């Protein structure tokens, strides 16, 4: 580690000899990965003082998790291109991962000198400053982030941790724990702050939100780092990339990466599964079906694979085919709640409401947190005029405030209407309306407002 510190010092000195390339031992690497790195290394060896080539090798090593080699190569690249913000930033990230905090701080500070409005760099630097005990510097960095991007939850959380008084910290955390942008860590910190003030009920509520959102964090765009994922040609890297693209709705690109995974590993069941989703979203049923059939022929199946194909059939209104696929999924995993939910939906569409109800109930029993299952069960009970049963389910699923809750409340209100309880219906719609505004769902908010107006009249009329 001392060597790295010394090398950081060399980075800014143009007369210093260029740090040596690390001895890359790639024999055990995935072939594509090794080839990729070897090409980049060969390019550097051809032009050892080319900053772009050195930077490319560093980035590749970085994306493949070879942090020590990456750090050495970033050092070379930075020595050749002192004004490159991205190199300094990425170098700092690698140094921090290696636990060399002093050098990482140095590199982050140099990056910030080159570009002082890149919030992810400021955020990472602030965290390191805290680890090194320089809370004042961290505070200034968080404040700077909030100047650049007001309301950045991560900065509010960091600032709260540096605040002297619990009420002041609580106020910051209440801003950070905004349900529109679920942030598990903020809910946890807010729960701790409430507990310290004896506000047990509020603490418990925040812990419930933490349990629900513990892995969620508001997106903070980091295009410099995101570009790195394009470089990763390993199976795992391609899969992650594909899933990220699918999550963003870029189905075409996602399909390309899933196909790439299958070229590396023709037995990769999740890749088949998600390809069905991607091709389905693209309206390319034939390719989706072909991928499904290939997986089945190979015997590389999972419950999810059958469910994804079933959902595609469901969207094509081929309910009996869909039901058959969901049943096949349940043969693979009878405890797969989502398969029960979708099978219920297919059966409901066919008109077999009794069996549908049983599958919805099974899904709820298997996964009580699955609100989709609860919603389906509640709605079917409502349709079957089992209003008490429907309300029981609705009450359970409207416990949480999120973007789905106003829809559940709207449907719940119709049950109260059927029960001739307009005041309760109105109360549900009032809450639904507030949440629709909060979660920025304007069309739903408008529809709810219309419904509320009608109900208000009913309530006002004896």
Partner 1 sequence: MSGRWRTSQTVTLSAFLMTGVTACSPTDEKSDNAVAETVVLFEDVAESTGLVFTHDANTTPEYFFPEINGAGGALLDYDNDGDLDVYLIQGGALDGSGTKTNRLFRNALVPSGELRFDDVTQGSGTGDNGYGMGVATGDYDNDGDVDIYLANFGANVLLRNDGDRFTDVTAASGTGDVRCSAGASFADYDHDGDLDLYVANYIDWSKDDNTACENTAGERDYCAPSNYESVSDALFRNDGDGVFTDVSEDSGIASVAGNGLGVVSADFNGDGLSDFYVANDQQANHLWLNAGEGHFEEAGLVSGSAYNAAGVAEASMGVTAGDYDGDGDDDLFMTHLNAESNTLYANDGQAFFDEVTDSANLAASSMRFTGFGSAWFDYDNDGFLDLFVANGAVMVLAERRGQSAFPYEQQNQLYRNLGNGRFADMSGTAGDALALREVSRGAAIGDVDNDGAIDVLVTNNSGPVRLLRNVIGGEQEWLRLRLVGKQSSRDAQGAKVALRFDDGTVRWGRAHSDGSYASASDVRVHFGLGLSATVSAVMVVWPRGGAEMWTDVAASTTTTLEQGSGEMAEPAQFNVRH
Residues near partner 1 (CB under 8 A) are 1, 22-23, 25, 28-30, 32-33, 63-69, 97-101, 131, 184-185, 187-189, 192, 195, 204, 207, 210-211, 214, 232, 234-237
389, 422 contact by CB (below 8 A): no
Q: Least distance in Å: CB of 252 to partner 1?
A: 25
Query: Judged by CB, which is closer to partner 1: 100, or 417?
Result: 100
128, 34 contact by CB (below 8 A): no
Query: Judged by CB, which is closer to partner 1: 56, or 433?
Result: 56
Q: Least distance in Å: CB of 120 to partner 1?
A: 18
Query: Judged by CB, which is closer to partner 1: 173, or 345?
Result: 173
Q: Which residues contact 322 (CB under 8 A, 6 or more apart)?
A: 310, 311, 313, 314, 342, 346
> What is the rounded distance in angstroms from the CA atom of residue 398 to the CA atom of residue 407?
9
Distances (CA, A) of 164 to 168, 198, 436, 449: 7, 18, 36, 44
> What is the rounded distance in angstroms from the CA atom of residue 417 to the CA atom of residue 456?
12
Query: Judged by CB, which is closer to partner 1: 66, or 393?
Result: 66
Query: Judged by CB, which is closer to partner 1: 104, or 346?
Result: 104
Which of 126, 134, 130, 184 lies closest to 155 in space, CA to CA? 126
> What is the rounded distance in angstroms from the CA atom of residue 156 to the CA atom of residue 146?
8
Virtual torsion, Cα 278, 284, 290, 294, nearest 10 deg: -10
Which of 94, 52, 54 lies closest to 71 in space, CA to CA? 94
Residue with tokens 């946890």: 188
> What is the rounded distance in angstroms from the CA atom of residue 89 to the CA atom of residue 110?
8
Neighbour count for residue 288 (Cβ, 10 Å): 24
Q: Least distance in Å: CB of 207 to partner 1?
A: 6
Query: Judged by CB, which is closer to partner 1: 138, or 356?
Result: 138
Q: Least distance in Å: CB of 247 to partner 1?
A: 20
Query: Judged by CB, which is closer to partner 1: 23, or 297?
Result: 23
Q: Is 225 exposed, middle or buried (0-12, 13-18, 19+ CB in 10 A)?
A: middle
Q: Least distance in Å: CB of 262 to partner 1?
A: 15
Q: Is 301 left (phi over 0), alpha (psi -120 to 50) or beta?
A: beta
Write out the two tokens for 274. Answer: 């998600």
Query: Judged by CB, which is closer to partner 1: 234, or 281?
Result: 234
Q: Least distance in Å: CB of 220 to partner 1?
A: 16
Write out the two tokens for 214. Answer: 């513990």
Q: Least distance in Å: CB of 40 to partner 1?
A: 14
Query: Judged by CB, which is closer to partner 1: 193, or 314?
Result: 193
> What is the rounded distance in angstroms from the CA atom of residue 219 to the CA atom of residue 126?
18
Which of 280, 281, 328 lies closest to 304 in space, CA to CA? 328
Query: Judged by CB, which is closer to partner 1: 1, or 45?
Result: 1
Q: Least distance in Å: CB of 302 to partner 1?
A: 14
Query: Judged by CB, which is closer to partner 1: 155, or 432?
Result: 155
Q: Least distance in Å: CB of 184 to partner 1?
A: 6
Q: Is 17 exposed, middle or buried (0-12, 13-18, 19+ CB in 10 A)?
A: exposed
Q: Least distance in Å: CB of 233 to partner 1?
A: 9
Q: Least distance in Å: CB of 213 to partner 1?
A: 10
């Amino acid at each position: 580690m001392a060597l790295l510190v010394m090398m950081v010092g060399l980075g800014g000195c143009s007369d210093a000899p260029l740090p040596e390339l690390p001895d890359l031992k790639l024999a055990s690497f995935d072939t594509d990965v090794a080839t990729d790195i070897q090409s980049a290394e060969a390019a550097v060896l051809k032009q050892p003082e080319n900053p772009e080539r050195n930077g490319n090798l560093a980035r590749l090593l970085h994306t493949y998790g070879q942090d020590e080699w990456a750090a050495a190569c970033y050092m070379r690249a930075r020595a050749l291109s002192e004004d490159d913000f991205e190199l300094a930033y990425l170098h700092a990230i690698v140094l921090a991962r290696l636990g060399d905090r002093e050098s990482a701080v140095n590199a982050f500070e140099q990056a910030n000198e080159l570009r002082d409005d890149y919030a992810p760099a400021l955020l990472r630097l602030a965290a390191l400053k805290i680890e090194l005990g320089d809370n004042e510097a961290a505070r200034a960095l968080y404040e700077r982030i909030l100047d650049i991007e007001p309301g950045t939850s991560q900065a509010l959380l960091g600032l709260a941790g540096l605040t002297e008084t619990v009420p002041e910290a609580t106020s910051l955390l209440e801003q950070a724990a905004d349900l529109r942008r679920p942030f598990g860590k903020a809910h946890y910190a807010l729960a701790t702050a409430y507990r310290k003030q004896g506000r047990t009920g509020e603490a418990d509520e925040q812990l419930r939100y933490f349990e629900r959102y513990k892995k969620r964090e508001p997106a903070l765009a980091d295009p410099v780092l995101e570009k790195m994922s394009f470089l990763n040609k390993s199976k795992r890297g391609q899969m992650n990339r594909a899933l990220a693209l699918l999550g963003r709705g870029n189905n075409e690109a996602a399909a390309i990466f899933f196909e790439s995974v299958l070229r590396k590993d023709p037995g990769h069941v999740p890749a088949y599964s998600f390809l069905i989703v991607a091709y389905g979203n693209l309206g390319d049923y034939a390719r989706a079906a072909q991928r499904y059939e290939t997986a089945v022929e190979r015997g590389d199946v999972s419950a999810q694979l059958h469910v994804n194909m079933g959902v595609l059939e469901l969207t094509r209104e081929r309910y009996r085919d869909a039901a058959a696929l969901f049943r096949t999924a349940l043969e693979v995993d009878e405890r797969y709640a989502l398969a029960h939910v979708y099978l219920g939906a297919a059966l409901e569409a066919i008109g077999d409401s009794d069996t549908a109800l049983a599958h919805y109930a099974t899904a709820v029993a298997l996964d009580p947190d699955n609100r989709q299952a609860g919603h389906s069960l509640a709605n079917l009970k409502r349709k079957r005029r089992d209003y008490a049963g429907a309300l029981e389910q609705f009450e359970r699923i409207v416990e949480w405030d999120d973007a789905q809750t106003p829809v559940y409340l709207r449907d719940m209100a119709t049950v109260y209407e059927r029960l001739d309880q307009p005041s309760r219906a109105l109360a549900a719609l009032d809450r639904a309306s507030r949440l629709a505004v909060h979660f920025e769902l304007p069309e739903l908010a408008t529809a709810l407002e219309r419904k509320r107006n009608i109900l208000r009249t009913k309530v006002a009329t004896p």
